[in-house]
Chains A and B, each alone.
Chain A
Amino acid sequence: MHDPLVIAGREFNSRLFLGTGKFPSNASLEAAMVASGTEMVTVALRRIDVTAEEDILDALDPGRVLLLTNTSGADDAEEAVRLARLARSGGYPTWIKLEITPEPRYLLPDGVETLKAAEILCREGFTVLPYVNADPVLCKRLEEVGCATVMPLGSWIGSNQGLKTKGAIEIIIEQSLVPVVVDAGIGAPSQAAEAMEMGAGAVLVNTAIGTAGDPAAMGAAFRKAVEAGREAFLAGLPAVGRAAAASSPLTGFLTS
């Protein structure tokens, strides 16, 4: 079945986005990319150094994956916009994962600054994918200024705690006109499947794959989970109910 994810007019056959931090080597990152089947990979501009002998970008095959640079480390809208413009002037794709996380411990996103930066970057022609708290109203506001997706967190980055914000993400999915990418906190393939079953357009995973004993094998496991979750969503999951539902009708004897 042809079921591509479409973001800003571009089709993706994989609904698994991959973050590139925390991997033990470029080789392991490369292997995980292949095994996961991902077509969208995000790289922090803070890690890019094309003057170095070996750079994180060396692991990427631009023919196979779209490079989504991110503004990790930016404190405010001004810094994020500056980073995005630098990426564009460096010849990188104008797809930007907007991350404004002024608080370096939990790396929680600053919604106020994110909206400000998104507005500027969308106006300047960037394809903006903002990382945000699971805030349905903020997601609508970001959609209104022209963001290509919204990327609410499941729980805070790197926590592997899964969908702590499930209720809010359900509302975001219900209301959103753009794809919803669950972006952080997904620590196990089952959690990725859960997000996809809920109707998320895609998930972004990093820590769970990058720090796994075998990142490539974990990438493959996530690939299957994301596909399974998506298929279940499309198939129409039966509703979960508290009351028993007999498989043979209890009122079948009533003939009229």
Chain B
Amino acid sequence: MTATPVALESRPEGVPQQSAAADLLATGLAAALASATTATDADVDRALRATRRSLLDLGILLSPAAAPRLEEMAALAHTASVRRFGRVVRLFAPLYLSNECVSTCTYCGFSSENDIARRTLSPGEVAAEARVLRERGFRHLLLVAGEHARVVSKDYLVDCVAALAPDVPSISLETQVWDTATYRRLVDAGCEGLVVYQETYDRDTYAAVHLKGKKRNYEWRLAAPDRAAEAGMRSLSLGALLGLHPEWRADVLALAAHAQALLRRWWRCEVAVSLPRLRPAAGGYQPARPVSDREYVQILCALRLALPDVGINLSTRESPAFRDAAFKLGVTQMSAGSHTEPGGYVEPGGAEPQFEVSDTRSPAAVAEAVRAAGYEPVWKDTIGARVKDASSAVQLRP
């Protein structure tokens, strides 16, 4: 399906040529980053009036000079979103497979150093979780697991996807990153999308928070979306954890540049971004620089204006009041009723969660709030994975 194969066999240092990761590393972000601190009112005027916006404009819209113009930005972002995506928001749920992890990441509840109750669901237990989520309305599921190549192995993940594929129209995956061949097996089993957070694009911060494990290899992770796209994943979702890097503007700019690079290189893929703010978790990590509500809204609006066609996800890490107001500024997909511990839908609290959820409302309550805001909650919007027989995705008969 691609004209530019990305040949990766083991886990080499460096990123492959002809990849979005390479394009990103070749992108000079210095000017955009400078404009994010030195922009003037006149720059903000120009960026707001532009019909197409560059990374430089994104920098301007993220700058302190743009902060007092938040209401204007919000109005533009809202209008752009409605025109492009309509008055709809897609709902999905994370399904945690395992909290086993051999990596040490200082901010994560699953970090190997944390003495927590560990659990890995069997494919049968995964199917039971999915049944509960289906009953609650979900047709889009995101399978999440810690990094443990023996317990959460390739074969295990393929088995989980295959177990769900007949009943779940859209399956995405957020686990340790894999090679192209593994992603291809997952696509063939029915996996539609990959979610991979770079966490932070700043190499020093990345090294400082990822102390142990394969995740320390920054570039292997950075090129994971390329490998997934090459393998035929239809959707790619990127993320940065706001609060890790003291300069959040730099991470937002790099994330946007990465999304743009993927859009150009893998023009058939849908690309979305997530920017969760760090939440309390086991291990007691304190964000280096918390992002305020006002700053967060500025980020959402700026991204919507600079990347009008990119999906934006909003997680249950945010409070109900914040989500109900902010989703109208450009969010295309929200999780709802999430449990971040494996088995949490059948048996809540049976294992350690990855982080504390802030919006604890039921999926039905979130859907109702979406409706009350004049939007349609969309539970299904997919034709499934790029496989020969993805018949479950089109549910035309009961």
CB distance from A97 to the nearest CB of B (A): 14
Residue of B nearest to A159 (CB): B83
Known contacts A48-B394, A52-B380, A79-B383; decide if A211 and B87 are in contact (CB<8 Å): yes
Residues of B within 8 A of A207 (CB): 83, 86
| 0 or 1 for each of B35-76: is its CB under 8 Å from A? (1 = yes) | 000000000000000000000000000000000000000000
- Is B296 in the interface zone, CB < 8 Å from A? no
- Is A12 in the interface zone, CB < 8 Å from B? no
- Is A58 in the interface zone, CB < 8 Å from B? no
Interface size on B, residues (CB 8 A): 36
- Is A21 in the interface zone, CB < 8 Å from B? yes
- Is B263 in the interface zone, CB < 8 Å from A? yes
Residues of B within 8 A of A102 (CB): 267-268
- Is A64 in the interface zone, CB < 8 Å from B? no
CB distance from A44 to the nearest CB of B (A): 8
| 0 or 1 for each of A69-110: is its CB under 8 Å from B? (1 = yes) | 000011100010011001101111000000000111110000
- Is A51 in the interface zone, CB < 8 Å from B? yes
Residues of B within 8 A of A141 (CB): none
Assess whether B86 is in contact with A210, with CB atoms less than 8 Å apart.
yes
Interface of B is mostly: loop
- Is A53 in the interface zone, CB < 8 Å from B? yes
Assess whether A51 is in contact with B394, with CB atoms less than 8 Å apart.
no
- Is A190 in the interface zone, CB < 8 Å from B? no
Interface size on A, residues (CB 8 A): 38
Whole-angstrom distance between the alpha carbons of A141 and B211 in the complex?
61
Interface residues of A in 165-224 (CB under 8 A from B): 207, 210-211
- Is A46 in the interface zone, CB < 8 Å from B? yes
Assess whether A73 is in contact with B396, with CB atoms less than 8 Å apart.
no
Assess whether B270 is in contact with A49, with CB atoms less than 8 Å apart.
no
- Is B398 in the interface zone, CB < 8 Å from A? yes
- Is A24 in the interface zone, CB < 8 Å from B? yes
Whole-angstrom distance between the alpha carbons of A103 and B382 in the complex?
15
15 contacts between A and B (CB under 8 A): A21-B88, A22-B87, A23-B86, A24-B87, A25-B371, A46-B383, A49-B379, A49-B395, A53-B137, A74-B383, A86-B394, A90-B396, A104-B270, A106-B309, A210-B86
7 closest A-B pairs by beta carbon, nearest first, are A22-B86, A90-B396, A24-B87, A105-B309, A49-B380, A73-B383, A49-B395
Q: A48-B394, A53-B137, A103-B268 are in contact. List 20 more A-B contacts (CB 8 A).
A: A21-B86, A22-B85, A23-B86, A24-B376, A25-B376, A44-B381, A46-B393, A47-B380, A49-B379, A49-B380, A50-B396, A75-B386, A83-B383, A86-B394, A87-B394, A89-B396, A103-B267, A105-B267, A105-B309, A210-B87
